[in-house]
Amino acid sequence: MEKGRHDYIDTLRLCCILFIVLSHFDGDCFSYMTGISMMRIHLAKDGSLGLLMYGWTGKYALALLCVISGFLVAMKYEGKDTCDVGSFVITRYFRMMLPVMACNLLFGILLKALGEQVGVFYFLKESIVPGLNSVNRNLWCIGSFLWGNILICLICYLQKQGIRSLWSYAVLLPILICLQDVWLLATVAGGACFGIAGWLKRKAPVNNWWLIGILPIIWLLPRGEESTIMYYRDILAAILIMTAFYCLPTLQSIFACRFLNPLKKCSYSLFIVHGMTLFMVGPAWSLVQRWGITSGAGLFVSSFLVLFLIDLIAAYVVYYLSEVKLYKAIVKRFLPF
């Protein structure tokens, strides 16, 4: 499948990650330093942007990120005659975990150079086991991504054996709801979403403009305080978003945004590293205050930009080391597929 057909999905994924980075900065840095949450002031129900953006949280962005992950796995096997589960599991593990390994290695070295205590065992363990967050607490969802992707791959395999994916999802999704693993549910729901969107596209390839009517629903669903039921509503909104985009080529063209490709290619690495760079908040804070910015929106924006620049530099290093060099060396050279 041509890379160009993924441009709009890559843009959506980048937007999710940028919003998650902003949310973590607000909650873990700015609120910690000032006692003020700018996102709550502006995005809360009674905030200045509440009428438009109440309910837009990092968890809403994460729900869409999970759905996108599952959607892409199901899309990967569309129209293919075979589905090799073993090779998928191995390559997907390395695709997801090599950036984690590179990130942990770089930051472990940096912390050691700064004279900090480095728990080698915890760094190594988190580099190998998906979803562990003893070092970087923002990586707990990697396990949901990986296991959700594997479950979708298994459903695709069963489909190739003659078992309709609809029945597989109908059995699996209620089980995940009962287990209350929200983000694993969201990832698997992304695979089901591709099946629904594909059916709609086949039925009416050029007449799906009625889907524009779901935009108010997408806006209304996440409006509420964070809770388990709100996370389910976020997942439903994410499914509707992906369905609308997949069925409407005009939306795909608008969101292709190829000028963002340099950012999009390192977006996953940015997601991995942003939690590890928070230890730089002190120096970044001091730098901004030396500029004479000590309060208000200016302090928020300037501090975020400084930390985001650090994130971006680290993300490109991790991307180059892991997603380019290590992945090519380990997966493409040594694994027999």
Mapped to the 3 state alphabet, what secondary structure does the chain carry?
A: CCHHHHHHHHHHHHHHHHHHHHHHHHHHHHHHHHCCCHHHHHHCCCCCCHHHHCCCCHHHHHHHHHHHHHHHHHHHCCCCCCCCHHHHHHHHHHHHHHHHHHHHHHHHHHHHHCCCCCCHHHHHHHHHCCCCCCCCHHHCCHHHHHHHHHHHHHHHHHHHCCCCHHHHHHHHHHHHHHHCCHHHHHHHHHHHHHHHHHHHHHHCCCCCHHHHHHHHHHHHCCCCCCCHHHHHHHHHHHHHHHHHHHHCHHHHHHCCCHHHHHHHCCHHHHHHHCCHHHHHHHHHHHHHHHCCCCCHHHHHHHHHHHHHHHHHHHHHHHHHHHHHHHHHHHHHHHCCC
Q: What is the pLDDT of residue 1?
A: 38
Question: Considering the entire predicted model, what is its pTM?
Answer: 0.92
Q: Where on the phi/psi map is residue 192: left (φ > 0), alpha (ψ -120 to 50), or beta?
A: alpha
Task: Tell me how far apart the alpha carbons of residues 130 and 289 are, in angstroms, rounded to a whole number.
Answer: 38
Two tokens, residue 12: 């959506």
Nearest CA to 150 out of 89, 95, 191 is that of 89
Task: Tell me how far apart the alpha carbons of residues 219 and 223 are, in angstroms, rounded to a whole number.
Answer: 7
Q: What is the pLDDT of residue 291?
A: 85
Q: What is the pLDDT along the chain (337 residues), one digit of tens a residue?
A: 344 468 999 999 999 999 999 999 998 888 888 888 898 888 988 888 888 899 989 999 999 999 999 999 999 998 888 899 999 999 999 999 999 999 988 888 888 887 877 788 888 888 899 988 887 878 889 999 999 999 999 999 999 888 989 899 999 999 999 998 999 999 999 999 999 999 988 887 667 788 888 888 999 999 988 899 999 999 999 999 999 999 988 889 999 999 999 999 999 999 999 988 777 777 787 888 888 887 888 889 998 999 999 999 999 999 999 988 888 888 777 665 5
Q: What is the pLDDT of residue 136?
A: 81
Q: Which residues 6+ apart lie within 8 Å of 198 measured at CB?
A: 78, 246
Q: Where on the phi/psi map is residue 55: left (φ > 0), alpha (ψ -120 to 50), or beta?
A: left
Task: Tell me how far apart the alpha carbons of residues 94 and 266 are, in angstroms, rounded to a whole number.
Answer: 16
Q: What is the pLDDT of residue 337?
A: 53
Task: Tell me how far apart the alpha carbons of residues 256 and 174 are, in angstroms, rounded to a whole number.
Answer: 34
Specify the amino acid at residue 28. Answer: D
Q: What is the pLDDT of residue 167?
A: 92
Q: What is the pLDDT of residue 296?
A: 80
Q: Which residues 6+ apart lie within 8 Å of 96 measured at CB?
A: 130, 142, 145, 146
Core vs surface per residue 294-310: b (16+ CB within 10 A) or e: eeeeebbebbbebbbeb
Q: What is the pLDDT of residue 101?
A: 92
